[in-house]
Amino acid sequence: MTEARQITKDNAYEAVSPDDFEAMMNVERYNRRSGAFDKIISATHDHFWDPVDPRYIDFSEPFDQENEMMISPDLVPELTLPCFAALSEKEKIRFTNETARWMMSAILHGEQGALNLSASLCHILLDPGAQEYAANQAREEARHVTAFAAYVKSRWGKPLPVGETLGSLLSEMVNAKEVYKKIVGMQLLVEGLAMGTFATFFNTARDPLLVKLCQLAMTDEAFHHKFGKIWADRTIPKLTQEERDIIEDWAANVFQTLLFNLVNPEQKKVIYADFGLDWRIVQAEMLEAVTDEDRREGMKDAANVFRVLVKTLLKAGIITDRTKAFYAIYVDMDELKNEDDRMVGDDIAEQGIAFLKTVNFGAKKTAQTVAAE
């Protein structure tokens, strides 16, 4: 890999080819450990949780899926379309809950992508501190895969296949050779998307188990997002104009792909047929019903996932006057610029960490006893 392709501006993010293990055994490397990530590594014990331990979360908690919506119907725009008018109330409940299944499946696939991407960073980052952080995140993403798989199993049996848009994007980031694509793509964009999504479910979901799961996941994701922020702080100010343009344009393209395709009816067609609906009719009605004005209105909500993404990129310095006008179509950029750096969900994550500290402190003696045995 060439230096220009990696766009490395800080030694903490220096990388080699994933098949260059010899570089990892360079004796000089071990003593060049950056302390940039020490705080988020050492804080790991504060937000430890075990998805197979019911003291943290109990996936046997029941929910009446036949008669109750698991998520707010406000998150299911199809319910307002003419082609859905003929559905009975029971069918509308079932469709809402199948939409929840589709959303949870997407989150599960996203967590798997985050796990693989974190592991891939371990293969290429030379700095022992950055490598330790990536290994730590891989462990946390692994518990998210376990947790969301358990939730999906408890409610529906198995997940739905990944949508083409999300699957392609995750594959691009996991397989990317460029560190900036992995960090901007996963640590800033996808983690930002996750924080917005989890905050929305925490605030509006009707299944208490889902509310609890999202808060637990947020206790980890808030730290993952900080890893990307450290990269931005150490990299963006040092970029040449050409390098900045490359990163800024790639991020804008990813944002556009997510905005117009992530919840496109074509991506959800797997669930329409079961209700006797043609996804192409749903898509046509959706295009007529949802306008740019609707998107702008939706992005006034602090928890709107796409607003969270724009704020994430803006605060990281990845939006400049070159691309500002594109985002300004949907969100007030001056308003975002004047907001503080706290992200939606930070308060929720902090409340979750406070709960975890009480559980982990009380469980410390038992855990040590088990370990000794």
The DSSP line for 252-316 is HHHHHHHHHHTT-TTTTHHHHGGGT--HHHHHHHHHHH--HHHHHHHTTSTT-HHHHHHHHHHHT
What is d(CA 166, CA 321) in angstroms, rounded to the nearest whole number? 28
Across 271-291, average pLDDT: 92
Confidence of residue 130 (pLDDT cuts 50, 70, 90): very high
Tokens describing residue 284: 């046509």
Answer yes or no: CATH 1.20.210.10 is held by domain 34-372: no
E strand or H helix that includes residue 258: helix 241-261
CA end-to-end span of the chain: 47
Q: What is the pLDDT of residues 24-56, one digit of tens each?
A: 999 999 999 999 999 999 988 889 999 999 999
Written as six digits, the tokens of 13 are 């993010």
Q: Tokens 């206790």 correspond to what residue?
A: 219
Residue 362 has pLDDT above 80, yes or no: no
Helix (H/G/I), strand (E/B), else coil: 125? strand
Buried b / exposed e along 302-334 (16+ C-beta atoms within 10 A): ebbbbbbbbbbbbbbbbbeeebeeebeebbebe
Between 142 and 338, the more confident residue is 142
Indicate if the pLDDT at residue 81 is higher than 60.
Answer: yes
Q: What is the pLDDT of residue 304?
A: 82
pLDDT band (50, 70, 90) for residue 5:
low
What pLDDT was estimated at residue 287?
87
State how far Cα 92 lies from the chain centre. 28
In the structure, what pLDDT confidence band is assigned to residue 369 with cuts at 50, 70 and 90?
very low
